[in-house]
Structure 1
């Protein structure tokens, strides 16, 4: 599991959402959320990340921490 995946899972669980619920709100398959959380998929594209941020109703500090997880995972992208 990557720092991004671990944090995404933490945020999702804090809000009482299952992977399938978050996926439905974002417009992706549940396996996509699972793959992100388990490090089998890198960070989502900016439009998908925006939808995740909106679906989870992240605070500015949570959003920043999620973005840092993305930077740590792919520092040159």
Structure 2
């Protein structure tokens, strides 16, 4: 799983830091810091955090399909 936050869009509401504190955290009152490739065990928390973002600044990319070689995907 890959997480990308549009920091120009983020307004520092910190809903993500509340819902997935192991992945997102506030640095000061306005700067968000995050782990770009969290462990899959955090998937549910990260998805909830992304859904809760009031400005939809969090994108979660599911990488499962990209991990399959092209030859195997065609079989």
State TM-score, norm by structure 2.
0.41
**Structure whose residues are more often strand by fraction:** 2
Which structure's CA Rg is the greater one? 2
**Structure whose residues are more often helix by fraction:** 1
